[in-house]
Amino acid sequence: MSAKDSMAKEYFADNARFADLCNNILYGGREVILPENLKERDTTEVLTALGLDKKTIAVQKLRDIFKNASIKYTGKSYVVLIGVENQSDIHYSIPVKNMFYDVMAYGNQVKETAKKHRKEKDTATSDEFLSGFTKEDKLIPVITITVYLGTKEWDGPRKLSDMFGDVDEELLPFIPDYRINLLAPREITDFTGFRTSIRQLFEVLKNAYDKEKMQEVLQNDEKFSKVDRETVEAINLFAGTDIDIDEKEEVIDMCKAWEEQKNEGREEGRELGERQKIISLIVKKLQKNKSVAEIADDLEEKEEVIAPIYEAALSMKPDYDVEKIYELLEKNKKLA
């Protein structure tokens, strides 16, 4: 399992974040699914069937996250099974993948119901006995949500029919379709419905491709001044940022950390420019056949500072490429 897969599973398995995610996808941000009403389920889906040779075939799939949700809404109570599949990359057969998970979840419900009836011997007709399912038995609905954690725009299929080639239009009504429930940060236009720090994660993923937009988001949203450690770690991993995290801190001011990182970058740039300027001056004097002592005197610098640059430049003649001389000096510094 990759670092991104592990991080995503651990991050969204948290009940508060899971509920926040589901409420935004399923209820437009209304707080309907509560964290305390979520219960972990086994993420392993196993479905068995008889093969052509009459031998039992077992198919096993492992979901990312799978929970039982008890929902009280509009004066009624409901139970639904919700799975979350995290994608750090675009998956071009995701409708088939998710549909298979859902079919297995329904198949397991039927299998467990049939097992119960066989044990209790309570089927009333031969039809119910053969089905393993009675007219009164009901399935628990299964919903699978795909969370795309990439920074590119999603250009993969959103339903099974997107994967078809040319199909006779008269046949389409007879072909069952399957639509995925996709959350792609680049497509979110309003983040105010999120109540947990997944809001900050998705906002960064939406704007990660544009540093100016990222700066604007960090400056205008005060919630970035207090971001939990796990979310900053997720942002660094999925958005490719390098926000500094103090091991002693559980809450990070991302606005401050981002600004400090930018300042460090500017300082490093200035240092690089100054260093290359000195190299360029030494090269010019070297080309005039001046010695280390003479160059040090001209530049009012110590000979021990000039000498390594002089030697590195000599090794690069006759081109005297300033950038290559700088790279050689940096390499020698690391080896020292």
Cα distance between residue 284 and residue 313, in whole Å: 10
Query: Is residue 219 helix, strand or coil?
Result: helix
* Helix pair 322-335, 254-286: axis angle to 10 deg: 110
Cβ neighbours around 75 below 10 Å, total: 5
Taking only the tens place, the pLDDT of each residue in 238-269 is: 988 877 777 778 888 877 766 655 555 454 55
Considering only CA atoms, which of 222, 238, 229 is closest in space to residue 185?
238
Considering only CA atoms, which of 221, 228, 231 is closest in space to residue 251?
228
Q: In this predicted model, which residue has the larger pLDDT, 48 or 130?
A: 130
With 50 as the cut, is the pLDDT of residue 278 above it? yes
Per-residue confidence at 336, pLDDT binned at 50, 70, 90?
A: low
Query: Is residue 175 helix, strand or coil?
Result: coil
Distances (CA, A) of 166 to 26, 145, 172: 32, 28, 11
Taking only the tens place, the pLDDT of each residue in 170-185 is: 999 999 999 999 999 9
Taking only the tens place, the pLDDT of each residue in 155-168 is: 999 999 999 999 99
